[in-house]
Chains A and B, each alone.
Chain A
């Protein structure tokens, strides 16, 4: 159902989604933000952070959380300045259309890389310990088929389902933490500063890459309910905080159970923690239960990123509906995720991404906000596309 006039806000929304205007609630934004921060990263975050910060890796998470809060507030300020625009439209408005398209393209690439890396990580986390004889391509194919279907339905269904599963997953993680207490040795977190303050900061910057994935919401945040948009920065900050608490728990309990030397060599520390807990001899081998739940949030997070990617790509290409892109984009990203031939190659790619993506996540909204302020674009300033304004 192509829309041609593009004057009405709802119609313009429909132009990019291809159907009725979608609406996501404040709590759903909190959950989506938290999911973006931790849903795939927590499987391997401890392995990434402990070689850098040692036994103080959990403090690096706190440092990264502070950076995440800064990103949340900057992104929040940008969103409040352009409450009805997507990130591509914001970029076009702030930087002029050609430059805006380039920035929009870079954003779509950023989302694509997140999707390729995170989906690969999660597929490996299932394939290596559990589905050893199943080809990775098959697991990946199922994963991307589900992602494509979720994306086809739109961001609102993804947000709704996320709200349900996220609660269950948080409960599962709290339960896992409780089961891990008896086999944890708090002394393994000492010395408190681990490899030192600079190492903690470096770890914090790495973790900032995880929290930086928060900016994916810029692609669809205009779907947030209008009366909630003034509190969008609080919603994003809350999501970052919840995600970081879960991440800090995962890292710190991993350290307390195995020590930082062991954590640094484990393929997926969170899966290892789940393997090591149980309720006496009554409930053993619980990792498969946990992984099934974690798989659901990883899927929902990936679906969110998938949606953000195709929606942004559609806008860059001036398409009225993102749906025709879903299938080709899914095949492309799946192929991209299968490029690393072995797990070490996959980890290496992840390492490069984590090294630099934090800067992009921090820089993009900061740059857009600064230029918008200088050029008096958006908000109540003249000449910009105000709240509810049309292009």
Chain B
């Protein structure tokens, strides 16, 4: 009995070792941990992929340098491009640590379908990775170094977390994009990343630009010594957003501001930061959005932050059940929120209830106007239901009717809706003082 158990145990151990794949083991040093992935369409119509992988330091004292390796390659498809990048790497590229996915505008406008297919199939890819779209060259975005995070992918990761707080860009993840593309009543809205100059007050030189002679001690080690990943290193390999001038200017910083508006998987255009903030409010995805309100009759300005906000759709009753019944149907976007006064650049003190009521009305009216502008962009300019109104209707219509009659023509139907915002914002807090400090002569 004991002997049998021992034999069985040995068999189990042998099989377990075989299962672990020790025969083709990979040391951690031979694994390239990809932090960022970029995808764009080259001018020749081929797909260009970039990968930015971290180079872990052997010494703990050097870990803050966060060196990275940036490479790119082209392919006929997304997967082929990614595979071709892998062929340039001495390490096995591992996608499980991807923080940010940067998509070029050209690729976004031609459709994300092929990219989403690859992301959904690759088991190791993080569904919570951030997704951004950029009109700037992808390699320049990935080449940005910041004192806060020298790897651009990590920098974008930090910015996205902050962007959600400030309501300047949607917190778009691979999961949210895939979920939105699969529902006719939802449309993806992806954060916009763009390059902006950033100056260092200490050195009076752009951040990241090092004194001459010292050379770079960290940051992307570009593949083949060419700027912009492998873009310039391949004959005719310059992608749509990686031309010969794709040297990443170290003076650049990345700013997340606004969003890319999609219809299904195709990008239709850009949303301004204000439109994006309003969209986040309507979709109850906003953080602490701040804006300046001009007081009537030139009495100055008041800056407020929306602390809490709840938006809902008042759908027509009964719910239309045919395309024709939808035409001209009235939908009210009802918004209730509380605001905090952050700055008062005015002689007004808003100490009486009447003054507060007037301010509430003014703030509400301003938000309503901005939402009307968003609705106009959504209905007239791009013709895509960015507000997610279709999803609200879908939840109240039978599945068969929605799938058969409404969903295939939803964008057309959406443009005919009469959408009216109705906001009610109320000042709840005014900071640690009830009045502005008054300098005396």
Contact = CB atoms under 8 A, between A and B. Distances in A.
Nearest to B392: A187
Given A133-B24, A145-B11, A145-B12, A261 B182 contact: yes
Nearest to B180: A259
Contacts of B96: 285
Given A131-B19, A262-B178, A262-B179, A142 B399 contact: no
B398 A131 contact: no
Interchain residue pairs A-B with the least CB separation, the first 9: A129-B123, A190-B395, A142-B15, A261-B182, A276-B127, A195-B399, A54-B399, A134-B21, A138-B18
A11 B176 CA distance: 62
Contacts of B11: 145
22 contacts: A128-B123, A129-B123, A131-B21, A132-B123, A133-B21, A134-B21, A142-B12, A142-B16, A145-B11, A149-B12, A187-B391, A190-B394, A190-B395, A191-B396, A191-B398, A195-B400, A258-B178, A258-B179, A261-B183, A272-B127, A276-B127, A278-B128
A5 B394 CA distance: 70
B183 A138 contact: no
Interface string B156-181: 00000000000000000001001100
A interface SS class: helix
B12 A146 contact: yes
A275 B175 CA distance: 10
Contact of A259 (B124, B128, B183): B183
B283 to A, nearest CB: 11
Interface string B387-412: 00001101111111000000000000
Contacts, number: 77
Interface in A210-234: none
B376 interface: no
Given A258-B179, A285-B126, A141 B15 contact: yes
A74 to B, nearest CB: 34
Contacts of B123: 128-130, 132
Contacts of B182: 258-259, 261-262
Interface of B: 8, 11-12, 15-16, 18-21, 24, 96, 123-124, 126-128, 175, 178-179, 182-183, 391-392, 394-400
A261 B398 CA distance: 15
On chain A, which size bracket covers the interface? Answer: 35 or more
Given A191-B394, A196-B399, 18 more contacts: A54-B399, A129-B124, A130-B123, A131-B19, A133-B24, A145-B12, A146-B12, A149-B12, A191-B399, A258-B179, A259-B179, A259-B182, A261-B183, A262-B182, A272-B127, A275-B126, A285-B96, A285-B126
B19 A139 contact: yes
Nearest to B186: A259
Contact of B175 (A128, A129, A190, A276): A276
A325 B24 CA distance: 36
B183 A134 contact: no
B331 to A, nearest CB: 16
Interface in A175-218: 183, 187, 190-191, 193-196
Contacts of A54: 399
A258 B181 CA distance: 11
Interface string A138-169: 11011001100100000000000000000000
Task: Pick from B8, B398, B399 the residue with the most CB of A within 10 Å.
Answer: B399
A288 to B, nearest CB: 10
A345 interface: no
Contacts of A8: none
B398 A196 contact: yes
B8 A149 contact: yes
B19 A134 contact: yes
A215 B195 CA distance: 64
A141 B310 CA distance: 55
Contacts of B394: 190-191
Contacts of A139: 19
A275 B129 CA distance: 11
Interface in A251-275: 257-259, 261-262, 272, 275
Nearest to A56: B399
Contacts of B124: 129
Contacts of A142: 12, 15-16, 18-19
Given A129-B124, A258-B179, A285-B126, A196 B15 contact: no
A55 interface: yes
A52 to B, nearest CB: 12
A142 B21 CA distance: 13
B391 to A, nearest CB: 7
A194 B175 contact: no
B178 A191 contact: no
B16 to A, nearest CB: 6
A138 B96 CA distance: 25
Contacts of A261: 182-183
Interface string A115-142: 0000000000000111111100011011
Contacts of B391: 187
A187 B12 contact: no
A275 B178 CA distance: 14
A287 B145 CA distance: 32
B396 A190 contact: yes
Interface in A268-326: 272, 275-276, 278, 284-285
B302 to A, nearest CB: 33
Nearest to B395: A190
A363 to B, nearest CB: 32
A358 B337 CA distance: 52
Contacts of A132: 123
A96 B67 CA distance: 78
B399 A55 contact: yes
Task: Pick from A146, A187, A191 the residue with the most CB of B within 10 Å.
Answer: A191
A87 to B, nearest CB: 28
Contacts of B19: 131, 134, 138-139, 142
A241 B174 CA distance: 35
A133 B26 CA distance: 12
A132 B95 CA distance: 14
Contacts of A129: 123-124
A172 to B, nearest CB: 19
